[in-house]
């Protein structure tokens, strides 16, 4: 039996090692679920549902409302192996098998009492803040929730970067919507008047946290990389992409995280995996596409068992991209919210996305590109095969393609994915030898 197969028999149910930052994040998430559960009992606590890409957290926090992120609920439920049943529940109630499983996991959870991943009831929405950024499905998702909850909904249409640029009229359009639609809706629902100075303060906090996040992600340029920029970074972006960006808690979290990663850099360590230190770094990969959450640890293990570390990923930019210089700007509060939305990864056109991957391949000295194509997500997936060929052509490095799903366990075939990955690592070895 090979070493890798022996490692595969490690009991994955044992407790993972946790850093201080992870404990902090867990407390933050738990705290938000507590608020959502309390809001279920107290009608004065207002709840706003919104999406990760294009989330207007700094603005939402100006109104003392509790934020809820259905995508986050779905992915956390998937990690707890609950979404298979949720998806089937939604399909039994009329949702088609072909459509996004995030939506179906959310609808299934709702139909089963809206018990969130923390085991507590998630309060119903007072407002659905539909930030239509980079994903068509968002629009129908919140129409479906509105159909069920009969609550107020406000839409923010964020134009797509079809020509790979942000024009004045695109920005003006978003700012006008913020002024005329989003802010009045939040004021109406919360009963709190909008205070632009409060927004500026939240934006200042965001910028501090963003600075630390970028420092963390850029350490992956080092050899060995002290972090895994996909499996690990999914946790790192958690507070930034959800209910916490713009809060002092998030700033503290990223300060702690940076201190931990900086320490790893000083000690020349590689990434921490659920089973401890990764060991020798053998392959440096760039990954495009979301992960599979239903078998996340099995999936990750297929990488670290082989000494493969992800040095850059696009999924960790889906809720905002800060590495090319954008920071929330308190001096231009509404314009900066618009620019943030434009710069969420799936709002980039395909040439931009391809250029970004090429940049990662070069800057992070990657051995290859891996695309995890998600059955549910056309926003990510449509066009990925071309992107793969483009990167191979431009960099001369090998690329590979695996197919799974975000939260539907029916679309994760461990043996197929593992076989592909093993072949891919062999391909990288052969390329190296040939070079």
Partner 1 sequence: MSTETIIERCEALHEDLYFTAAREWKDAAPGRHVIGHLPIYVPRELIHAAGMLPLGIYGGGDNMEVIQGDAYYQSYICRIPRSTMELALSGRLDFVEGMLFPSICDVIRNLSGVWKLTQPDVYVRYVDLPQNYKSEVGGSFYVEEMREVLAGLEGISGRKVTNDDLLNSIRVYNYNRDLVRKLYQSRVEKPWNIPVTEVYLLMRAGMVLPVEEHNEMLESYLVAASETERPQRDNTRVILNGLFCEQPPLGLIKSIELSGCYVVDDDFILINRWLRENVDDSGDALTNLSEAFLEYSVRTSATYEPERELKGQHLLESIKNSGAEGVIFSAPSFCDPALLEQPMLVDILDDHNIPNIQFKYAENTGQMQPIREQAGSFADSIKLWS
Binding site for partner 1 (CB under 8 A): 93-96, 98-100, 103, 130, 132, 135-137, 139-141, 143-144, 146-147, 150, 153, 155, 157, 159-160, 162-163, 167, 169-170, 172-173, 176-177, 180-181, 349-351, 353-354, 373, 375, 378-379, 381-386, 390, 403
Distance CA 185, CA 192 (A): 11
Nearer to partner 1, 141 or 424 (CB): 141
Whether the Cβ atoms of residue 253 and residue 28 lie closer than 8 Å to each other:
yes
Of 47 and 185, which has the nearer Cβ to partner 1? Answer: 185
- CB 67 within 8 Å of CB 242: yes
Question: Dihedral, CA atoms, 205, 210, 212, 217, nearest 10 degrees?
Answer: 160
- Of 283, 285, 288, 286, give the one whose Cα is nearest residue 385: 288
User: Which residue number, 185 or 220, has a Cβ lying nearer to partner 1?
Assistant: 185
Beta bridge partners of 48: 67, 127
CB-based contacts of 408, cutoff 8 Å, min separation 6:
83, 84, 87, 101, 104, 105, 294, 375, 376
Q: Which is nearer to partner 1, 99 or 192 (CB)?
A: 99
For the CB of residue 156, give the shortest distance to partner 1 in the complex, in Å. 9
H or E stretch covering 156: strand 152-157
* Cα-Cα-Cα-Cα dihedral sign, residues 400, 401, 404, 406: positive
Residues 6+ apart with CB under 8 A from 40: 121, 122, 123, 124
In the chain, how many H helices and how many E strands?
A: 19, 10
For partner 1, the closer of residues 305 and 339 by Cβ is 339
Give the nearer residue to partner 1 in terms of CB position, either 4 or 153. Answer: 153
- Considering the complex, state which of residue 177 and residue 321 has its C-beta at the smaller distance from partner 1: 177
Min dist CB 354 to partner 1, Å, is 7
- Provide, rounded to whole angstroms, the least separation between the CB of residue 345 and partner 1: 13
Place of tokens 């109630």: 93
Radius of gyration of the chain (CA): 21
CA 253 to chain centre: 17
> Which structure tokens are listed for 285?
């990969």
Shortest CB 305 distance to partner 1, Å: 27
Of the pair 268, 351, the CB lying nearest partner 1 is at 351
Cα 435 from Cα 430, distance rounded (Å) = 8
Q: Residue 102's Cα: distance from chain center in Å?
A: 13
Q: How far is the CB of 83 from partner 1 (least distance, A)?
A: 18
Nearest to 378 by CA among 173, 36, 23, 102: 102
Q: Is 268 left (phi over 0), alpha (psi -120 to 50) or beta?
A: left
Q: How far apart are CA 100 and CA 82, in angstroms?
A: 16
Cα separation of 366 and 64, whole Å? Answer: 44
Q: Which is nearer to partner 1, 85 or 155 (CB)?
A: 155
| Of 149 and 235, CB closest to partner 1 | 149
Q: How far is the CB of 346 from partner 1 (least distance, A)?
A: 8
**Least separation in angstroms between CB 74 and partner 1:** 15
| Contact (Cβ atoms closer than 8 angstroms) between residue 325 and residue 351 | no
Name the β-bridge partners of 348: 161
| Smallest separation (angstroms) from partner 1 to the CB of 352 | 8
Distance (Å, rounded) from C-alpha 304 to C-alpha 282?
9
DSSP tag of 239: H
Closest separation between CB of residue 382 and partner 1, Å? 4
Assigned token pair, 204: 């200042």
Q: Cβ of residue 220: shortest distance to partner 1, in angstroms?
A: 26
Q: Which is nearer to partner 1, 37 or 47 (CB)?
A: 47
As measured in angstroms, the least distance from the Cβ of 150 to partner 1 is 7
């Amino acid at each position: 039996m090979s070493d890798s197969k022996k490692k595969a028999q490690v009991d994955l149910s044992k407790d993972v090692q946790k850093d201080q930052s992870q404990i902090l994040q867990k407390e933050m998430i738990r705290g938000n679920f507590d608020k959502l559960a309390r809001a279920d009992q107290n009608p004065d606590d207002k709840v706003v549902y919104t999406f990760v890409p294009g989330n207007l957290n700094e603005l939402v926090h100006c109104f003392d409302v509790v934020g809820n992120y259905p995508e986050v609920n779905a992915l956390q439920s998937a990690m707890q192996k609950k979404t298979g049943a949720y998806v089937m529940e939604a399909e039994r109630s009329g949702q088609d098998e072909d459509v996004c499983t995030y939506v179906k996991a959310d609808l299934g959870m709702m139909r089963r009492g809206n018990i969130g991943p923390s085991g507590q009831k998630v309060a119903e929405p007072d407002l659905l803040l539909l930030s239509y950024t980079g994903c068509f499905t968002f629009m129908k998702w919140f129409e479906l929730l509105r159909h069920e909850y009969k609550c107020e909904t406000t839409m923010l249409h964020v134009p797509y970067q079809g020509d790979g640029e942000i024009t004045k009229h695109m920005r003006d359009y978003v700012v006008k919507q913020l002024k005329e639609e989003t802010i009045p809706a939040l004021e109406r629902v919360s009963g709190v008047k909008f205070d632009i100075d409060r927004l500026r303060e939240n934006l200042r906090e965001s910028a501090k946290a963003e600075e630390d996040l970028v420092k963390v992600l850029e350490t992956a340029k080092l050899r060995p990389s002290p972090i895994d920029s996909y499996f690990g970074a999914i946790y790192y972006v958690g507070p930034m992409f959800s209910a916490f960006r713009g809060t002092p808690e998030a700033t503290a979290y990223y300060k702690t995280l940076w201190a931990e990663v900086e320490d790893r850099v000083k000690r020349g360590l590689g990434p921490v995996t659920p089973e401890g230190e990764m060991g020798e770094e053998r392959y440096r990969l760039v990954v495009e596409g979301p992960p599979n959450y239903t078998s996340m640890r099995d999936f990750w293990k297929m990488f670290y068992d082989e000494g493969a570390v992800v040095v850059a990923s696009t999924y960790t930019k889906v809720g905002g991209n800060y590495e090319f210089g954008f920071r929330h700007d308190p001096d231009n509060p509404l314009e900066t919210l618009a620019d943030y939305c434009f710069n969420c990864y799936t709002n980039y056109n395909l040439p931009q996305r391809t250029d970004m991957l090429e940049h990662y391949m070069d800057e992070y000295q990657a051995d290859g590109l891996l695309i995890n194509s998600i059955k549910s997500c056309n926003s990510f997936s449509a066009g990925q095969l071309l992107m793969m060929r483009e990167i191979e052509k431009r960099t001369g490095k090998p690329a590979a393609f695996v197919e799974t799903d975000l939260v539907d366990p029916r679309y994760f075939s461990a043996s197929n994915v593992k076989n592909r990955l093993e072949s891919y690592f062999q391909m990288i070895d052969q390329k190296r030898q040939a070079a």
